[in-house]
Structure 1
Amino acid sequence: MSSREQPSRLNFTNTRRRGGRLRPDYGNRFYFFGSRERGGGSAARPADNFPSEPDLKEGLDTTIIQTISTPAHPMVPEYFPIDNVKYVASYNWTGAEEPTIVVPGSPAIWTGRAVPFTLQPDEGYVWKNVQLPQYPMLPLFAAADAIHDQEAAPPVDWPTVDFVTDHNDLRKLLRWLSPSPGREVQDFRIDVQLVGTKTLVLRRWEIRPYWDHANRSYGHAFAAAMTRAAPDCPSSRHHRVIAYNMLNTKMVVRFGIDACLPSPGSSVATTYFDDSNLAPCAHSSMNAEQTSTSTTTTMSPAINIVRAGTQVPQDALVEVVSRSAYYLDRLDWNELYSQLALSQTPTLRMGVHEGGEFKELREWQLEGSGTRLGTSGQSETQKGADIQDLSAQRRETAVQIVRLERVLQDVQKVAIARGSGPAGSFSLVCEGGKLCVYARKVDSDGDGTSPSGSCLPPDVAARFETQKHVIL
């Protein structure tokens, strides 16, 4: 199967349902089968198209190479352990049949809506990692190259980076390190590859490659009701790539963004309760009379690049969630705060509902990176309700990120000791709360074309090789 055929580990060729039919869809990461908004019928599980869940150790050797230990709890650091945050790239997937991304793209624009209002629950199934399942990190590099070419931005010094990863993998490791009270650590797997002399590329691996909305949540419906797509940008999930220092570890992290705030001066309403003034988002550099340009990457597999949208400042990013009013006293701040901290998303907006009737919207503004950690205060505040002091949670999250950095360093030491090539391809498997390293099998010719092989194609992995200077 060629790379352009986009094989899916589900053996259900990346599809959308329309009127009972299926059509290819490589662009929209989030799609609801049986969605009421699209006139779909029952959200019953299409059993013929959903194979059984894959084995957690599929494609791995049976011998445990090493067990990763949980580090001791350190003292609270003086400063928050993430700093020097820099924008690297961003993009949206399109609905094209061939892999195509819009660079820099744009998140959905927060427009708001007056309360109260009622929404129908999310239904059906949502795909994860539909695009380029063998090389899910490849668009990160394609977008970074396009940003460098388009904006004359300085190139990323890839050989100096320690980790290239999805935000999702860091969150899995944090849950293993510090599980929320009353919750068991869920099994997970992260594929790892050493490229260059020290850089580890982490590849997301899903036990269940889709979300099931049978629990009648309202998160996607709420986000859709409170936002709209930026002009000339698809309504698919917006992906953002940033670089930062996690103490002494240089990270490049990709994450999804739900929304962004209108820029100052935009006529879009600045209050999150008002949707009376809707106008084109000032963050978008495209308008109806402008045309975008399109190129194709030289990397293999090729990715088409459409140049549209504009870079959104980090302080305009918004995480959008919904919660039932009946469970507000059970908010998992370990989960929420770490999610925002690892992506350095400064604003959290939460819709509070009773059975789908939204009556209140709450907002939290979180401090930026590298700030001093006090012992008390209200530097992070909640709007729309009583002030809530999150300084204790911030300190706890800081401690857990210090522990996470130590785990990452331990994994990096394992990789460097094993060396590059096939030996440098291994997987972290958490099973029953125990995190172990397993060697990953590669195809017979060693080029990593099997699903369990290389995390990056050879031409992209080569950029991590240290430059050799000839001394005359």
Structure 2
Amino acid sequence: MSASNQNISNDRGHSSYRGRGRGNRNNYGGTWKLTVDDSMPLTTEDLPKGGILAELEVAKLVEAATEEQFEAEKYRKEDYELVASYNWCEKAGKPGIIVPGLAARWTPPSLPAWLNPDSGIFYIDQNAYRWPTSPLEPALRALFTLHPTFDLNPIDIVTDRNNLRKLFRFVCGNQKFMHEFKFYVEVINRTVLVTRWEKRAANVVAGGEFRGFGHTFEKEFTKYTKGLEGSTGHHRVAKYKFGGLNMMVRFTAEAFLGSKDMPSGGDTEATGIAQKSVKKQTSDSSPRTGQKSSPGRTRPHFTPGTGDVKQAPPSAPAHTSTTNARGSFAKPLPKAPLTDHTDLADIFAKSLKIEANNEPENPPHRLEIVLGGMMMPQERVLEMKTRAMNRTIDLTDQTPQLWFSNTSNLYVGYHQRGSFMNVDTEIMGVKGLQLWEDENQGNLRKLAALLRSIIQIARSAEGGRAQVACVGGKLRVHAIQDGEEAFGTLPMELRQRWDVQRAAKQSAQGGVGAAGKGI
């Protein structure tokens, strides 16, 4: 589906607008119309039609949890590993992804900088907008492009970070941030896939509406590296353990810091952690972020070029491939050579060339895959927000977003009626995220109990499909009615990957093996 104006009305339904800290006041000129619909309730049409399978009450879930499950250890992310990433791009009106892609680079202008308010089309859920039949499919295509034999059977749940944020708000019970929502679940073998749902996958900000400066701030303060200028968003996929669950989480990354923009210095221990995470990006080890920054203490300077850097050869165009929404790859994607350079972003700008595919145009139901970009360490990724000068950022709802993806850098642009005077940097580092983790053990325990319950109910649901909806402060799991549209269902070729990898594992073990230890 194209992201053009004429097609925006053909998308599915109406949706809440996901801002980047734009606030609820007109800080620009005082005459703009502000329409914020984050808290719009689900309509009768939005509500699940199937019967209620269960009503999930957090207090009861925690009480029912066994001591072995929830008392033995703290609720932390463990064995964090970035496994895939990709950029959305558009060529000749058709969507495609660049794997592993690269986020836009932080390239701030001189301050003060005057920016226009947001206007135009903005994505709420670009994956659903560009690939509405199966929004999780692009993430899995990117995963199998980089790791063709990746075994998903040990994974308990595959989800977007956005779904985790909504569930975390629910268990916290903070009415300020909690809104009505729903999502779909589908079970393949024992893996539960959670597909995000929004009333509208993209939003149009027209004249007379004021939505703040968040998107303009991102556009003017970042720049895609040469060869990726046509990108419309960067998405990453990480896997980690939490609460006894093997999780795979997709999230967006708005920008990355070049090596010259990274804070330098730091203690020996922090530097060792940073270098280890880059060197062992391709192994089964767990990359970790550097130490928390504070006045007089900064994070380590990274040694790039030693990680899982995949890029097209300097003298050749990027490799391309197409995948049918219900079929397999048209041709294999060869691995690009590893390189060792002093600055990943600089060499990328000089060497990577993504050229138009010379093959005939693909049918509209095919997702084009281009091999290009590089796996940037998560330590370099940053989240961007905006605030008016007279409003400080409330980290209550922002820190969980950073925690779920291990994003340790938060840049906040402060403006006065569109004039950006300064950009504050919140560099949390591994210690900052762990501090929040320690202070929120109670709510993280509730989240783990809730996720376990959703997984167990989904696995026992008829056909392995269900909907989860939060309405009126109540969270319920609903059955999928016969004949109801199967939103988010993966194509058969991808579904079969679970069985293929399970069979391969059993064969390697001499016929004895399973899909992996699950709950």
Match of 2:221 in 1: 226
Q: Scaled by the length of structure 1, what TM-score is found?
A: 0.73
| SS of the residue 1:334 aligns to | coil
Match of 1:135 in 2: 134
| SS of the residue 1:254 aligns to | strand
Q: What CA distance in whole angstroms lies between the structure 1 residues aligned with 2:80 and 2:511?
A: 35
Q: In 2 relative to 1, CA 69–307 (structure 1 residues): closer, same or farther, beyond 3 Å?
A: same
Match of 2:288 in 1: none
Q: Any conservation in 2 of the 1:111–1:269 contact (CA below 8 Å)?
A: no
Q: Scaled by the length of structure 2, what TM-score is found?
A: 0.67
Match for residue 165 of structure 2 among 171, 176, 196: 171
Amino acid at match of 2:318: S
Amino acid at match of 2:161: H
Where in structure 2 are the equivalents of 1:426-437 lying within 5 Å?
426-437=466-477
| SS of the residue 1:411 aligns to | helix
Offset, 1:53: 10
Q: What CA distance in whole angstroms lies between the structure 1 residues aligned with 2:188 and 2:167?
A: 21
Offset, 1:464: 2.7
Amino acid at match of 2:142: A
Where in structure 2 are the equivalents of 1:183-202 lying within 5 Å?
183=176, 185-196=178-189, 198-202=190-194
Any idea what the Cα deviations from partners look like across 1:398-455, whole Å, max 9, x if unmatched?
4323321110001111122225x2xx11100100110001111353xxxxxx643562
Q: Any conservation in 2 of the 1:241–1:254 contact (CA below 8 Å)?
A: yes
Q: Any conservation in 2 of the 1:99–1:304 contact (CA below 8 Å)?
A: yes
Q: What CA distance in whole angstroms lies between the structure 1 residues aligned with 2:440 and 2:218?
A: 26
Which blocks of at least 5 consecutive residues in structure 2 are unaligned? 12-16, 20-31, 35-39, 64-69, 265-303, 327-364, 513-519
| SS of the residue 1:142 aligns to | helix
Match for residue 297 of structure 1 among 299, 307, 323: 323
Offset, 1:70: 1.4
Q: Any conservation in 2 of the 1:337–1:397 contact (CA below 8 Å)?
A: no
Q: CA RMSD in A?
A: 3.6
Q: In 2 relative to 1, CA 211–271 (structure 1 residues): closer, same or farther, beyond 3 Å?
A: farther
Match of 1:90 in 2: 85
Q: In 2 relative to 1, CA 54–269 (structure 1 residues): closer, same or farther, beyond 3 Å?
A: closer
Q: Does 2:146 match 1:147?
A: yes
Amino acid at match of 1:130: Y
Where in structure 2 are the equivalents of 1:188-267 lying within 5 Å?
188-196=181-189, 198-211=190-203, 213=205, 214-233=209-228, 234-263=230-259
Q: Any conservation in 2 of the 1:60–1:438 contact (CA below 8 Å)?
A: yes
Q: What CA distance in whole angstroms lies between the structure 2 residues aligned with 1:156 and 1:429?
A: 31
Match for residue 491 of structure 2 among 454, 457, 466: 457
Offset, 1:250: 0.6
Match for residue 117 of structure 1 among 113, 117, 123: 113
Match of 1:334 in 2: 396
Q: Any conservation in 2 of the 1:338–1:397 contact (CA below 8 Å)?
A: no
| SS of the residue 2:108 aligns to | coil
Q: Any conservation in 1 of the 2:388–2:415 contact (CA below 8 Å)?
A: yes
Q: In 2 relative to 1, CA 286–323 (structure 1 residues): closer, same or farther, beyond 3 Å?
A: farther
Where in structure 2 are the equivalents of 1:416-427 lying within 5 Å?
416-418=459-461, 421=463, 424-427=464-467
Q: In 2 relative to 1, CA 399–112 (structure 1 residues): closer, same or farther, beyond 3 Å?
A: farther
Where in structure 2 are the equivalents of 1:270-419 lying within 5 Å?
285=311, 290-297=316-323, 300=326, 302-328=366-392, 331-368=393-430, 379-380=431-432, 393-418=436-461
Amino acid at match of 1:134: T
Q: In 2 relative to 1, CA 417–78 (structure 1 residues): closer, same or farther, beyond 3 Å?
A: closer
Q: Any conservation in 2 of the 1:81–1:246 contact (CA below 8 Å)?
A: yes
| SS of the residue 2:141 aligns to | helix
Q: What CA distance in whole angstroms lies between the structure 1 residues aligned with 2:146 and 2:495?
A: 19
Q: In 2 relative to 1, CA 290–430 (structure 1 residues): closer, same or farther, beyond 3 Å?
A: same
Offset, 1:67: 0.1
Amino acid at match of 2:470: C
| SS of the residue 2:232 aligns to | coil
Q: Any conservation in 1 of the 2:77–2:242 contact (CA below 8 Å)?
A: yes
Offset, 1:184: 6.0
Q: Does 2:54 match 1:66?
A: yes
Q: What CA distance in whole angstroms lies between the structure 2 residues aligned with 1:90 and 1:133?
A: 19
Q: Any conservation in 1 of the 2:160–2:249 contact (CA below 8 Å)?
A: yes
| SS of the residue 2:4 aligns to | strand
Any idea what the Cα deviations from partners look like across 1:262-291, whole Å, max 9, x if unmatched?
13xxxx55589xxxxxxxx99894588541
Offset, 1:463: 2.3
Amino acid at match of 2:196: R
Q: Any conservation in 2 of the 1:188–1:430 contact (CA below 8 Å)?
A: yes
Q: What CA distance in whole angstroms lies between the structure 2 residues aligned with 1:137 and 1:432?
A: 28
Amino acid at match of 2:386: S
Give aligned-pair identity as a percent. Answer: 25
Which blocks of at least 5 consecutive residues in structure 1 are unaligned? 1-5, 7-13, 33-42, 46-51, 150-154, 273-280, 369-378, 381-389, 444-449
Q: Any conservation in 1 of the 2:41–2:471 contact (CA below 8 Å)?
A: no
Q: In 2 relative to 1, CA 25–347 (structure 1 residues): closer, same or farther, beyond 3 Å?
A: farther
Q: What CA distance in whole angstroms lies between the structure 2 residues aligned with 1:309 and 1:123?
A: 29
Q: In 2 relative to 1, CA 44–333 (structure 1 residues): closer, same or farther, beyond 3 Å?
A: closer
Q: In 2 relative to 1, CA 412–53 (structure 1 residues): closer, same or farther, beyond 3 Å?
A: closer
Q: What CA distance in whole angstroms lies between the structure 1 residues aligned with 2:113 and 2:4?
A: 28
Amino acid at match of 1:187: E
Amino acid at match of 1:176: F
| SS of the residue 2:199 aligns to | coil
| SS of the residue 1:185 aligns to | coil
| SS of the residue 1:326 aligns to | coil
